[in-house]
A and B are shown apart, each in its own frame.
Chain A
Amino acid sequence: MTTAVEKPRRLLPRWRDYGRPRELVVRYLLLLFVLGITVGPLVWQFLASLKGVGEDVFGRNASLLPHHPTLRAYRQVFDQVPVATYIRNSVIVVVLSIASQLLFSTTAGYMLSKPGWKGRKAVWVVLVASMMFPFESIMVSLFLSIRDLGLVDDLAGVWLPGFVGAINVLLMRGAFLAVPREIEDSAMLDGANEWQRFRHLYLPSAWGAIMVVTINTFISAWDDFLWPLIVLRSESHMTLTLGLSRLQSSSFGYDQRVVMAGSVISVVPVLVLFVITQRWFYRGVSAGAVKL
């Protein structure tokens, strides 16, 4: 961060400090282009969910903006399915998942990053191997295991098969590997034992990876559809994505606006969470303190 000549400090950065104007323009154009591609379809969904009954949702004549915006579709969603229950169930699964993933993948990742114990390579092999099996082929076996544990139609049965993700373990391991040895050596010389080193040295320095694991776990637990579909039976246990899918399948026809409204409802909490946490996360990244 040191440069040859110290610039005089300014309270508010000036545009010029961000770089050459032409570069800025190009950057923003690119950003807007990518924005259109990534967010476009989702914005369209949101706008469609606000459309009134008579307005076309698809087709060439369909306009992007609703002519008579209405929250009717959203009211219908709440009418037709018990959204509050679904959200509560999703939250339960998500909280369980995040807790177990963080706890066990950090500890396992840490141990895997440390040399000097037998069988380390074997454990690594087993973890990587477990990531490679296609879900379709283990689906029925998994269900039978859950059944044997008596967890059918139970949120715990949804949570259990993925309570530690191999990918998260590998992520944490990579993060811990990046901690320079000198720091650890000095900590050891200062008398810190293993657990203390883990808590006060390794965990804080792998903060970025921890955030990544948290966000990733949240999203996959929240969005998961097929596995909850297999395990859960009664409506009072259903998760949000599962419950909202019922809006779409109806032998008597369905209203796309209601489906879109349901999709928006299921995306909003994740989006909110991400917007909140990304500030911490990026702050860490830009300060250079996070190492992956």
Chain B
Amino acid sequence: MRAGRLTASVAGIIALTLTAAGCGLSGGSSGGDSTAGGCKVDKGNVGSGKLTGDVKGQITFQTTNLKKDFGDFFNGVITSFEKAHPGAKVKWIDDPGDNTFTQRTVADAQACTLPDVINVNAETATALTKAGYLLDLGVKDPDVAKPFVPAFWKTSTYPDASGKAIHTTLPWYTGGVLLTYNKDLLTKAGIDPAKPPTSIFGLFADYEKIARSAKGKYFATMANPVWRIPGDFDQMDIRTLSADGRSAVFADDPRTTQWVAWMAKLYKEGAMPKDSLSSSNDPSTLYSQGKVAYGSTNPSFVRFVKQNSPTVYARTAVGQQPYDALGRASAGAPQYISVAATSKHAPVALAFAEYLTDAENQTAWCKDPNVVIFPTTSASLNDPFFQNVTGSDPFSQARKLVADQLKTADTNQTNLSPAVQNAIVAQVQLAMQGKKSPAQAVKDAQAKANELLKQAG
């Protein structure tokens, strides 16, 4: 008796929900209207026409973890924009920007609730452009490229669903890469702090020297390869992905295997703390305690040291990033500002995005004494603030070095999805533990990366 009733009831429930699920699966929009990635949008947001319309309406503006430090500045920008465009209102929200950022932004996009003006990184921009959720800025405003440094404007293109490269982002701020190190620990190892190495392997050789002089009391750097892939590969001009980005090719370059072999050697020799192999901790904490000789490559890290450990700050110096085979700094992609294709007030959003990233506002912001960030607009970079730097403290030094770097920097950054990056890093970790030979690790890493890239289509 019971069993029959049971199956009947359960079957009934399943049938009901399957029908409902089937409806859910077919997505939000019915055919005929303009769509962006499955959301119904205004006709003007998609297609090849210039964007027209009144600059009126309320939009949302989202930044990534900037409110804490720069609340006043952005409120000022918003107020002056609203003053210049009566009828336009900007609501500012700030996202913590943790490692689930891309996932959540994608969920937002799928739900058609992407903020109108959004601060994205290269990885998120890639995902959103492919699915069609971002406004094609190059088409919607033909003059949009004007203020930006050509190198940066070139990097702000991403492939759409059909593979065509379109401009869906405006370059915003960038940081550059630097070597930061503890002068005392370097001198003790026989390294001249004033002459930083010019190649990645040269840097590795320095790490080795530190390991030998430290005898286990402190370390050169952190072990987790996640901090260096694909950064080091880019700097060494090793191709990580094929030209169309659909397959991994780093195993074809013999230097990749050499790089892995170096990492394994350094780990074994104690140049890195053993427990940092699969840890997400960056060098900041250990560096502030004087336990690690080389700090983070983000120039603003120097401020962190200043705040948390004045004694170590006094011994900190900065040096130019090793240019290696690339011949210039691989500074990586800047932060971007994009406009959602699903925006209900696209003209306002576009106007605000352009206002935020124009030369004047970028210059004003980057002059904040607390950080070392740089603008991506040509007029700004020529500002004497960035060109003539005086002062010998690490902060000012950092600013000068990055300004130099940015004149010729390569802003092309290999975009690896987190899954692919983790797959490669995992294999390198195994090599570092001695569980695989470097050559085998590189081969397996490429195989696993290709497996994932294949299912990306």
Contact = CB atoms under 8 A, between A and B. Distances in A.
B289 A246 contact: no
Contact of A152 (B111, B285, B300): B111
A143 interface: yes
A140 B104 contact: no
B319 to A, nearest CB: 19
Q: How large is the interface on A (under 10, 10 to 19, 20 to 34, 35 or more residues)?
A: 35 or more
Interface in A114-171: 118-119, 121-123, 125-126, 139-141, 143-144, 147, 152
Contacts of B65: 246, 249-251
A53 B308 CA distance: 6
Most chain A beta-carbon contacts within 10 A, residue among B10, B91, B308: B308
B2 interface: yes
A125 B10 contact: yes
B47 interface: no
B87 interface: no
Interface stretch (A91-99, A227-235, A276-284): A227-235
Contacts of A242: 96
A143 B300 contact: no
A249 B311 CA distance: 24
Contact of A252 (B69, B94, B112, B289): B69
Contacts of B100: 226, 229
A226 B104 CA distance: 10
B10 A122 contact: yes
Contacts of B52: none
Nearest to A126: B13
Interface string A168-196: 00000000000000000000000000000
Interface string B279-307: 00000111001010000001011011101
Given A81-B68, A147-B111, A251 B307 contact: no
B124 interface: no
B94 A118 contact: no
B97 interface: yes
A233 to B, nearest CB: 5
A147 B39 CA distance: 12
Most chain B beta-carbon contacts within 10 A, residue among A57, A246, A251: A251
B291 A252 contact: no
A11 to B, nearest CB: 57
A12 B65 CA distance: 59
B307 A255 contact: yes
Contacts of A53: 307-308
A226 B96 CA distance: 12
Contacts of B104: 229-230
Contacts of B112: 147
A122 B307 contact: no
Contact of A235 (B6, B13, B67, B285): B67
A105 to B, nearest CB: 20
Q: 5 nearest interchain CB pairs? A: A253-B304, A122-B9, A147-B111, A246-B96, A252-B300
Interface of B: 2, 5-6, 9-10, 13, 24, 60, 62, 64-65, 67-69, 91, 93-94, 96-98, 100, 104, 107, 110-113, 115, 284-286, 289, 291, 298, 300-301, 303-305, 307-311, 370-371
29 contacts: A56-B289, A59-B289, A80-B68, A119-B5, A121-B2, A121-B6, A122-B6, A126-B13, A143-B111, A147-B112, A147-B113, A226-B100, A229-B100, A230-B107, A234-B93, A235-B93, A235-B94, A245-B98, A249-B65, A249-B97, A249-B98, A250-B69, A251-B64, A251-B65, A251-B300, A252-B298, A252-B301, A252-B304, A256-B285
Interface of A: 53-54, 56-59, 61, 80-81, 118-119, 121-123, 125-126, 139-141, 143-144, 147, 152, 226, 229-230, 233-235, 242, 245-246, 249-256
